[in-house]
Structure 1
């Protein structure tokens, strides 16, 4: 992978930071900067100029969050973020969206994001979609990965579905050669999971057949995180090599 990349990430809640890819990027001497939307004063008028210039970013990583992409009334910066995303993506720059991040990319490009029939929270199997072109990013035939979502994205126009499961059909998509949108959390580490559990204020809204208990999640073995972490590193290498 290229070294000295200028990597910028969008963070939406205090408990959901970079996760596993920080060490991977630092090992390649990346310069990492961030926009912490959760820390912005709610009454501060926001303009595109408050975000980095598109030509100053070599790779964008968009993290997850508890809000809906549709909740611009309570989170006015969502509208600004989507405007900036459209500008960034129009320039053909590499981007990876994780959970809410994947939903934001899809929504910025005109795809709907809506309530999924089932909530997913915990370690769930995700499988490779059928008929994926050879030049697309390839995931394992089956991967057990961390899920934490109530909503789902439609595949943006021109996108290719790469992964799915029986609970939520759209788990990963690709646009062009340089954009990947994940519904699941490949970046999850034991520490990141602990922070999510500690900072999650809406755990009571999660319920159903595909929601694991917090006590089970707290006992997650270190090895369960490794496959997703490796997948994310491979995804980063893929989009920046376009």
Structure 2
């Protein structure tokens, strides 16, 4: 990883923050900046020029959010974000999408995002897809991660499907060697989980066999978070390997 890496992240909801990768990137002397879409005035149209200059971003990390990538009527900045993403990705630059972020990358590249048959909220097991090419991002055969989603992405054209489970088939993909899209939340920490759980209105929208209770989530052991956090650190190093 090169020194003084310029990392930019797109944040869609207040309080979500940067999760576990903040400490990892700061330890590598990264310069971290953000676009806070949730803070934009609703009555002021966003111009693409208000987003960072693409050449000023060495790594883009796109965070999650409670909105749908398809809800451009209520969140008109989604159109601009996707347009900027297409320009950024066309240059082959490193990007990581987390949950909504993974859906945004897929959708910006023409893949559909739609309701999953079941909602996922809580700790679940995800498995590596069989017969992934050897030079792809390396995943454990099985790993335990935090889920928090109602929708799911289709795998973008030209991407490689990396991970799945029985509830939601498309859990992770990669494009080239520089883009990784996650459906789950590898960045989650005890602090960010607490912030998520403060949103009672959001929790009320989740139900079903694969939704854990608020009480269960509040009693998550610290060991639960480590595997996803380590996976994200490895993902960052992987997409940056060309810029090292």
Counterpart in 2 of 1:132? 132
Could you tell me whether the CA contact under 8 Å between 1:126 and 1:164 is conserved in 2?
Answer: yes
Secondary structure, aligned partner of 1:102? helix
How far off its partner does 1:2 sit?
2.0
Secondary structure, aligned partner of 2:85? helix
Measured against aligned partners, the alpha-carbon deviations of 1:70-103 in whole angstroms (never above 9, x if no partner) come to 0000000000000000000001100000000000
> How far apart are the structure 2 equivalents of 1:16 and 1:160?
28
> How far apart are the structure 1 equivalents of 2:185 and 2:15?
14
Could you tell me whether the CA contact under 8 Å between 1:20 and 1:188 is conserved in 2?
Answer: yes
- Matched positions, count: 242
How far off its partner does 1:200 sit?
5.0
How far off its partner does 1:66 sit?
0.2
Counterpart in 2 of 1:57? 57
Counterpart in 1 of 2:228? 228
Secondary structure, aligned partner of 1:217? helix
> How far apart are the structure 1 equivalents of 2:45 and 2:186?
34
Could you tell me whether the CA contact under 8 Å between 1:15 and 1:199 is conserved in 2?
Answer: no
> How far apart are the structure 2 equivalents of 1:149 and 1:22?
23
Secondary structure, aligned partner of 1:202? helix
CA RMSD after TM alignment: 0.7
Measured against aligned partners, the alpha-carbon deviations of 1:50-79 in whole angstroms (never above 9, x if no partner) come to 000110000000000000000000000000
- Gaps (5+ residues) in structure 2? none
> How far apart are the structure 1 equivalents of 2:131 and 2:104?
25
Worse overlay, 201-210 or 99-108: 201-210
How far off its partner does 1:4 sit?
1.1
> How far apart are the structure 1 equivalents of 2:82 and 2:201?
25
1:79 maps onto 2:73 in alignment: no
Counterpart in 1 of 2:186? 186
Could you tell me whether the CA contact under 8 Å between 1:123 and 1:146 is conserved in 2?
Answer: yes
User: TM (normalized to structure 1)?
Assistant: 0.99
> How far apart are the structure 2 equivalents of 1:15 and 1:196?
8
Pairing of 1:1-242 with structure 2 (within 5 A): 1-199=1-199, 201-242=201-242
